A and B are shown apart, each in its own frame.
Chain A
Amino acid sequence: MTAAAPSPVAPVQDESLLRAALKGLVVPLCGVAFAFGVWSLEGRVLDAYDTVTAMNIGVAMMLAVSLNIVNGMTGQFSIGHAGFMALGGYTSGMVTYYGSLLLWGTAARQGGPFGAGEWLFAASCVAGGLVSACAGYVVGLPSLRLRGDYLAIVTLGFGEILRVLLQQTNRVIGSREGLAEAKWRELIPPPVGGAVGFNGLPKYTNLFWVGLFLSLTVIFAVRLKRSAIGRSMIAIREDEIASYSVGVNVTRVKVRSFVIAAFLAGVAGGLYAHRIGVNIEPRDAGFQRSFEYIIMTVLGGKGSVTGSMIAASILTYLPEWLRDFDRYRMIIYASLLIAMMLLRPQGLLGSREIWDFLPWFRKRRGTAR
């Protein structure tokens, strides 16, 4: 662009820098607007049940999109995604619960919308993501030596080990005085409730925070897919040896994909743990839950961000919609899954995105996919 412009070089560069910065902000701002939009629906268009379902869909979308970075884009088979989610959820729960106890002397909700409590909660989600990312780095390391089924077993082991460890944790400490007087053996292992689950977290999650973190996750995933790292990931998925031979740092890219996916899953876990009607428990780290997210990514399509979002919303909404079938619900749910996989074995969108199917978008975006 700059080289082709006839005017003097320097001002154009300035202008384009500013414009680039502004253009870069437009999309995240759209995300914030989206968050405010869905939040405004809460209580007006959506009743409490719809809201809970919508929050579930949002969290499931975040988990499916993040898992898709490892399973879909990089082609590494991970069955431990729920482990990252639970780790993030427990970490952020510890931050808000014990943070509230220390700051305000009570674990109850503090402040209204955008009050002090909500900011602590938002920060705790990010903290949960960071702790998860560290775990993701550790789990990512064996992926250098292992592939396919063997890697799957390692990640499966991560989730299951975490589940058992969480069952061995201490009971939750109820008050600030209790926390001050607690002995070391009550604090290590961390007091997060053992097998009963981490009970008593302040319930901060609402559609605004889900909308915000979801849109940031999606923007990040779409941009990642188009970036150099994303393209290296896809190259590794298609042929590891070929991409290695043309200079892709396979090791680094694989570990990065694990770290990124774990971070996003950890943030989603924070949102999950603070939702009303959730009592985060060790079982949430188990492989059954991981499989739910794997099904979403498989059904959505390999590496398709929008595809896994569509699949996540269908698979979260469907069991709720089938409630009237009572106990036959899960049988119908499973047969619908089989039917969908028969109809579209490559996943709903294959490896493409939703806009690749819309002619207007396709023209605008040129050859990008």
Chain B
Amino acid sequence: MPHRFVSLTLCVAVASAALSSGCRKSGDASGDIAIGHYASMTGPEATFGQSTDNGVRLALEEYNAAASVGGNRFRLITYDDKGEAAEAGVVVTRLVTRDKVTAVIGEVASGLSLAGADVCQQNGVPMVTPSSTNVDVTKKGDMIFRVCFIDPFQGYVCAKFAREHEPLKAQKAAVLFDQRAPYSVDLAKEFARHFETLGGTVVARQSFTGGDQDFSAQLTSIRSSSPDIVFVPGYYTDVGNIAVQARNLGIKVPLMGGDGWDSEKLTEIGGAALEGCFYSNHYSHQDPSPRVQEFITKYRSKFNKTPDGLAALGYDAARILFEAIDRAQSRDGAAIARELAATQGFDGVTGRISIDADRNPVKQAVILEIKGGVPTFVTTIEPER
């Protein structure tokens, strides 16, 4: 009997707490413009969602503090989607139809953005995804925007850097890609295309399967073609293993890759084998530009952490959205979408952003070099015009 009593009391307590908090939320009827954010605040990709949410919150706070009397003020409603596509669709529906938000920010993972984009497009609510790089996301319709570069662009960035940057000036490149990951296949294809357009030759094309442990067959074949650079557009675990095995086989030229390399685990796995290797990314906290350094100082003082790329992208996504709403002078979805599409030369933390006709940004990428086990900022590469 006593345990029944305890659990019953617990139930009642929780239920009443839920009721009271529910009432409090619905009572909020200020004149602020509501912005919805759906993110993986819990689940296996929780850090993605939390970083992005921090970035968005920082932008919101700054904007509201700077807003003049009578200017637009914003409030943020963040919902957790547990990193599940089905849940993302539900929370976006809630944001759009129940909370009647003016615009939506989210998600990191492309699969979840695709689910949420359907709902936003159908209801005519603009959506800005901070960091979904899959090409299909903005193809969902004229309400869907993004502030990160898309996968194929990185291929161009890496090819240009490898071909034209001073210490490399690569003439011959080898490509080793993960045949199972669409991200890797696309990146390899785009890199090879641009590298050849820029006057280089691709001397070897080899593939592996994500999760493989032994890459010696592919690497031996690459070694015999004696390239100046090996392009490995994979994810960090495979890349780490490949680097170690490549050095053991006597391949001394640098390896290069995309944002799939961006993890602390990369140098843990690859260690010294990755010294002098390069990869492209959205942003570097070592970028000396004042815009970036100002953001980092603010972020550190608020959250006591160094912002990662996702936080920077969340910050930029929110600010582009706020500015578009200000310019639109209306809460109408179509008007805001028009202003979002008209964004030109926005000075963001992750670069100067202009939105193109496909609602994707035209922006720079940064190149990082691994020095002493730390990714170090080398340069930024501007998009081709």
Contact = CB atoms under 8 A, between A and B. Distances in A.
Interface of A: 47-49, 52-53, 56, 167-168, 171, 194-197, 199-200, 203, 272, 275-281, 283-284, 320-327, 329-330, 332, 335-336, 338-340, 342-343
Contacts of A332: 14, 18
Given A52-B93, A281-B85, A199 B114 contact: yes
Main secondary structure, interface of B, reads: helix
Contacts of B168: none
Nearest to B3: A342
B97 A322 contact: no
Interface stretch (B4-12, B265-273, B322-330, B339-347): B4-12
B136 A52 contact: no
A203 B118 contact: yes
A200 to B, nearest CB: 8
A197 B90 contact: no
A196 B110 contact: yes
24 contacts: A48-B93, A49-B93, A49-B97, A53-B90, A56-B90, A196-B114, A196-B182, A276-B119, A277-B89, A277-B119, A278-B89, A279-B89, A279-B112, A279-B114, A321-B22, A325-B21, A327-B42, A330-B42, A335-B10, A338-B7, A339-B7, A339-B11, A342-B3, A342-B4
B7 A284 contact: no
Q: Which 4 A-B pairs have the closest CB atoms?
A: A277-B89, A48-B97, A339-B7, A279-B115
A213 B91 CA distance: 25
B93 to A, nearest CB: 5
Nearest to A280: B85
A47 B134 CA distance: 31
Contact of A322 (B18, B25, B85, B123): B18
B60 interface: no
Interface string B84-109: 11101111111011100000000000
B311 interface: no
B10 A339 contact: yes
Contacts of B42: 327, 330
B78 to A, nearest CB: 8
Given A195-B182, A326-B78, 14 more contacts: A48-B97, A52-B89, A56-B90, A196-B111, A203-B118, A277-B86, A277-B93, A277-B119, A279-B112, A281-B111, A284-B85, A325-B18, A335-B14, A342-B3
B86 A272 contact: yes
B67 interface: no
B41 interface: yes
B85 A278 contact: yes
Contacts of B3: 342
B122 interface: yes
A46 to B, nearest CB: 10
A278 B7 contact: no
A343 B8 contact: yes
B181 interface: yes
Nearest to A343: B7
B113 to A, nearest CB: 9
B90 A342 contact: no
Contacts of B115: 197, 277-279
B80 interface: yes
Contacts of B94: 49, 320, 323
A251 to B, nearest CB: 36
A342 B112 contact: no
B118 to A, nearest CB: 6
A342 to B, nearest CB: 5
Contacts of B182: 171, 194-196
Which of A167, A196, A272, A276 gathers the greatest number of chain B CB atoms within 10 Å?
Answer: A196
Given A196-B114, A277-B89, A278-B89, A329 B80 contact: yes
B366 to A, nearest CB: 25
Interface in B1-60: 3-4, 7-8, 10-11, 14, 18, 21-22, 24-25, 41-42
A48 B118 CA distance: 13
A320 to B, nearest CB: 7
A276 B122 contact: yes
B371 interface: no
Contacts of A195: 111, 181-182
B116 interface: yes
B80 A327 contact: yes
B215 interface: no
B92 A277 contact: yes
Nearest to A51: B93
A49 B14 contact: no
B295 interface: no
B79 interface: yes
Given A196-B114, A327-B42, A343-B4, A48 B18 contact: no
B7 A342 contact: yes
B180 interface: yes
B51 to A, nearest CB: 14
B8 A277 contact: no
Nearest to A327: B41
Nearest to A341: B7
A168 B180 contact: yes
Given A281-B111, A323-B94, A276 B41 contact: no
Contacts of B96: 48
Nearest to A52: B93
Contacts of B98: 47, 49
Contacts of B97: 47-49
Nearest to B43: A330
A326 B89 contact: no
Contacts of A338: 7
Given A196-B111, A197-B111, A276 B118 contact: yes
Contact of A324 (B4, B11, B21): B21
Contacts of A330: 42, 82
Interface string B198-211: 00000000000000
A321 B18 CA distance: 8
B350 to A, nearest CB: 23
Contacts of A171: 182
B36 to A, nearest CB: 12
B296 to A, nearest CB: 25
